[in-house]
Amino acid sequence: MTGLPLPPVPEPYHLPFHYGALHNIGVDYLVEPQRARDLLAKRHPGLVAAVFDGAACVSLNYQLYFAQYPGGGGVTEELEINLIAHPAFAEERIPALDYRQYARGHDQTKLLGIARLHVLCDNPLAIDAGRRLYAEPKHPGWFETTLPSLNAAAVHERWSVSCRRASLGADGLTRHDEKLLALDVDLTGLTPEAVTNTPITGYGTDDEGRLLAGPLNVYQPYRSYPLDDRTAGRVRLDLGNPAEEPARDLAHLIADAPAVGVWTYQSAPVAAHNRAYYVR
């Protein structure tokens, strides 16, 4: 049999990795393409930045997820800073799309994927797994969030995510006060569109310079919110210390570009413990 071998799955990991629940918001920006090309050439030389209407696409992706293991369960938060890209050899196989078509999932080659520039995560095990299984540039961070929830007096479509610096040591993850970036998105009153844009292809480049791809399947549609001049102000991005690499790269890529689209996903509840009543 010819072809490339599959990347190894080191102990103690097992694939596929199954999510028990996922709460996810992404925000996209269309940016000057040469900046994206230059940064991508340094981080992922086997990839080329996708171009939509003459612009490259920066995509921020926050995830809160639960996973169940044989010995219990765990909750993880992470934030990806991505460029939408495709393998350099596949240039002629990519369909000609504008951003709206891409956001609606019209590319079913799935060669268009997320080239991870930075992944900030609060779970040491998930950091190790992301690095070793998918060649993610994954580093510690911690989060303060406000998300839409059925366990609130009123459900508001407001997502606020603040990511702060953390470090890993023998005792696990240590939190620091320094803010890396903060995202505030108010979708109240906006009408979403159901889109089937998965599997999402996540690209990584390992220490030997080999490009690998890992698909993520989400089993229900996303909610897509196209933004325009009237609604772009619903998204506020606050960058922290520019000496920190994630904030510096984002400032360089985005400059003053407005957000052009938001996409969200929240797992449906599987059970509800209802209000008590008096028996006698």
Q: Is the pLDDT of residue 163 over 90?
A: yes
145 contacts 160 by C-beta, under 8 angstroms: yes
163 contacts 140 by C-beta, under 8 angstroms: no
- Report DSSP state, residue 55: B
107 contacts 97 by C-beta, under 8 angstroms: yes
End-to-end CA distance of the chain: 73
What's the Cα-to-Cα distance from 59 to each of 223, 240, 263, rounded to whole Å? 15, 18, 10
How many beta carbons lie within 10 A of that of residue 98, not counting itself? 10
pLDDT in tens, 136-148: 999 999 999 999 9
Sorted by where each begins, the domain ranges of the chain are 21-266
194-214 b/e with 16+ CB inside 10 Å = b? eeebbebbbbbbeeeeebbbb
pLDDT in tens, 64-75: 999 999 989 999
pLDDT in tens, 195-239: 998 999 999 999 999 999 999 999 999 999 999 999 999 999 999
Overall average pLDDT of the 105-126 stretch: 96
Share of the chain above pLDDT 90, in %: 91
Q: Which of 41-45, 155-159, 188-192 has the lowest average pLDDT?
A: 155-159
Nearest to 263 by CA among 21, 23, 22, 27: 27
21-266: which CATH architecture? Answer: Beta Barrel (2.40)
